[in-house]
Amino acid sequence: MKYDFITIGGACEDLSIFTDEGVLMDNPKDAVKQKLLGFEYGAKVKVKKFLSTPGGGADNTAVALARLGFKVAILAALGDDERGRKIVRSLRKEGVDTGFIEVVKNEESGFSSGIVGRDNEHIFFPVRGANEKLKISQVDLRRLKKTKWLYLTSLSGNWQPELKKIFSIKGVKIAWNPGGLQISAGMKTVAPYLPKTEMLMVNESEARALVFSNPKFKHQKKSFFNNNRALAKAIQLEGPKLVVITMGKAGALAYDGKKFYRQPIVKPKKYVNTIGVGDAFGSTFVAGLELFNGKIKPALKLAAKNSSAVVAAYGAQTGLLRRKDLL
C-alpha cells in the first residue's frame, strides 16, 4: 500500500481572537447545549492576541500523522487563491502528499474565525468556502484504496452522497471524527455507516446530541445524557468497533463493546490553547493503534501526551510532536 493514512475533510486558515472578556454560563434547560459563552451587548471587547494558523480537520490530522513518521496524503478542496496556496505550501513542508487536493475555481479557500475565552475554550465561526465543493470522484475512489486507514473528519456542502462513497470503499480501516453537520443530521443518518467504522470519536457534547437523536434513548432522564459510559454504550450498540469520547480536562473514555478504558489528561507545561486538541487526540490515538498492534491503553496514553503538547502552544499544529519526542 502506498499510504498509511489518507485524511479527508476540511483544510482552512484559522483566525483566532483571544480575549478574557467573555462570560461562561450554565444552560441547564438544554440537555445538549449545557454551556454558553456570552459578551456584553454593544460592548467593544478587549483583545489579548490575534493569530493566523493552518487548520481544518483533515489538515490538522494529516500534519499530526506525518510528524509521527507515517506516509500521509490529504483529500480536501481549496480555492484558487493565495490562502489555498499558503495551505498547500504548509502541508508540503510537513511532508504531506497534496496530490489529491481539489482546487475549485471561483471559490475562496475556507477560513474560520474563532473566539478563545479566559479558560482557553473556544467558539469558531467557519466559512466553509471551497470545502463545501469537495467531491469524491471515481479516480479518488481508486486512490483511496491505496492506504491502510482513512481518517474522516468534518464534511460540509452536499456531504451525504460523498459520505456514502467513502464508506463504499472496501479493504481499508475507517476512523471517523464526524463534524457538526453529521452530528446534527442525527443517528438515523449516520447509523448505516457505523458498522463499517473502526473507530468513532466524538466529544461529550456531540455524544449527547447523537444519542439524544436516537429514538431508543430520547426519553431518558438528563442524568443518562450526563453519563459518558452510558453514551459510549449507546453509540457502540449501533456498530462501531471502538468508541472514543473526549472530555476536555477530564480526559477521554474509550469503549470496545466489552471494556471501558479511561485516560486522564497529561498535564501540559502551560495551558494556552484548545484549538485542534481533538484532532491531535484522535489522529494520535489511531497512530497508536498502528504502533501498538491495536492495543487501546498505550494508544490512549500516546494521544493524551500529544494533546498536552498542543495545549501548550498557540494554534492547532504548532505543538504537535514528532515520533521520537512522543515515544
Tens-digit pLDDT profile for the chain (327 aa)? 699 999 999 999 999 898 998 888 888 888 667 788 888 888 899 998 888 999 999 999 999 999 999 999 999 999 999 999 999 999 999 999 999 999 999 999 999 898 888 777 778 898 999 999 999 999 999 999 999 999 999 999 999 999 999 999 999 999 999 999 999 999 999 999 999 999 999 999 999 999 999 999 988 888 899 999 999 999 999 999 999 999 999 999 999 999 999 999 999 988 888 889 999 999 999 999 999 999 999 999 999 999 999 999 988 999 999 999 998
Q: Is residue 253 part of a domain?
A: yes
Q: Is residue 213 part of a domain?
A: yes
pLDDT at 124: 83
Domain count, the chain: 1
CA angle 59, 263, 177 (to 5 degrees): 30
- Pairing relation of β-strands 3-8 and 173-176? unpaired
Q: Is residue 257 part of a domain?
A: yes
Q: Distance between CA atoms of 71 and 292, rounded to whole angstroms?
A: 17
Q: Distance between CA atoms of 218 and 205, rounded to whole angstroms?
A: 15
Amino acid at 173: K
CATH number of the domain to which 215 belongs: 3.40.1190.20
Residue 146 structural domain: 3-8+58-102+138-326
How would DSSP label each residue in 60-93?
HHHHHHHHTT--EEEE-EEESSHHHHHHHHHHHH
Amino acid at 317: Q
Q: Is residue 122 part of a domain?
A: no
pLDDT at 286: 98
pLDDT at 221: 86
pLDDT at 32: 66
pLDDT at 27: 87
Looking at residue 43, what DSSP letter applies?
P
Q: Is residue 24 part of a domain?
A: no
Which residue, among 9, 320, 319, 13, has the nearest Cα to 175 in the 3D structure?
9
Q: Is residue 302 part of a domain?
A: yes
- The single residue listed with the C-alpha cell 476540511 is 10
Q: Is residue 45 part of a domain?
A: no
Q: Is residue 41 part of a domain?
A: no
Q: Does the model's pTM come out above 0.85?
A: yes
Which residue, among 49, 180, 66, 63, has the nearest Cα to 115 in the 3D structure?
49
